[in-house]
Amino acid sequence: MNGILLASLVIGITGLLIGLILGVAGKKFAVEVDERVLFIRDELPGNNCGGCGYAGCDALAEAIVKGEAPVNACPVGGAPVASAIGNIMGTAAEAGERRVAFVKCNGTCDKTSVKYNYYGIHDCKKLALIPGEGDKSCYYGCMGYGSCVRACAFDAIHIVNGIALVDKEKCVACGKCVAECPKHLIEIIPYEAKHIVQCNSKDKGKDVKAACEVGCIGCGICVKQCEFDAVTVENNLAYIDQSKCTKCGKCAQKCPSKIIL
């Protein structure tokens, strides 16, 4: 009986000492946390999508407090979250330009041809590993097997008539679809962009037309029409610099392939 009591006493004293040591160590080595980080984290939506350029909402909150990121850095929260964070930081939240994802392909089922019938897993990344990198004749076009759809947490992208299509009203420009596309077909553009080249083919005109009815043939007519140096052609593909584009529409009017939206 005395042995049991002694063992219990030793265990109790040992536990008490360990608790005291841990308590002192916790106070001594505690990391100071700016309470604004916690407040900002509560305002952020918690999607941890990475669209802000940081690993997650916690990392973004710390970056904002450190002055490394603006108060409107969260693309998901938009203006309301930016305003709330601005109040926490004691600064006005500037209105950020809304941006959305855009798929550079218009090769729908009725406009492009296929090389063979594919019956495998519906996943673009896996399809990209087989010969020819997809069943469509255009090597550069959208495969249409939905890797980007599954990557989107906001139901903003769907496969319509064989190609991915972005719902601008739902898209928050998080960039997950951009990272998921093995063809690098998706880019983030301004929401207000009016003229975009919906093609990604680098082939010459004859080869483009053999694979798709609506591909860019790199003719350069759009370049000649633009008075603001906003359109260029590189590797047989037209590109519009949205920072220079005035939305005059002359390039779209004269495009023989009607590939400029």
Domain boundary among 156, 172, 192: 192
The secondary structure element, H or E, covering residue 188 is strand 186-190
**Inside any domain, residue 181:** yes
What residues are paired with 188 via a beta bridge? Answer: 101
Q: How confident is the model at residue 30 (pLDDT cuts 50, 70, 90)?
A: low
**Does the pLDDT value for residue 84 go beyond 80?**
yes
Position of tokens 């005109």?
Answer: 205
Q: How many domains does the chain have?
A: 3
- 186 and 102 assigned to the same domain: yes
DSSP structural state of residue 103:
E
- 158 and 208 assigned to the same domain: no
- 208 and 237 assigned to the same domain: yes
- 112 and 75 assigned to the same domain: no
Q: How far is CA 3 from the centre of its chain?
A: 67
- 204 and 214 assigned to the same domain: yes
pLDDT at 20: 76
Query: Rounded to whole angstroms, how far apart are CA atoms 233 and 167?
Result: 28
Q: Are strands 237-240 and 99-103 parallel, antiparallel or unpaired?
A: unpaired
Q: How confident is the model at residue 33 (pLDDT cuts 50, 70, 90)?
A: low
| Max Cα-Cα span within the chain | 101
What residues are paired with 101 via a beta bridge? Answer: 188
pLDDT at 151: 92
Domain CATH for 184: 3.30.70.20
The percentage of the chain sitting over the pLDDT mark of 70, rounded to a whole number, equals 92
Q: How confident is the model at residue 25 (pLDDT cuts 50, 70, 90)?
A: low
Average the pLDDT over each of 29-38, 44-53, 100-109, 119-128 and give the range with the smallest value. Answer: 29-38
Domain boundary among 69, 89, 109: 89
Range of the domain at 135: 97-192
Domain boundary among 24, 57, 89: 89
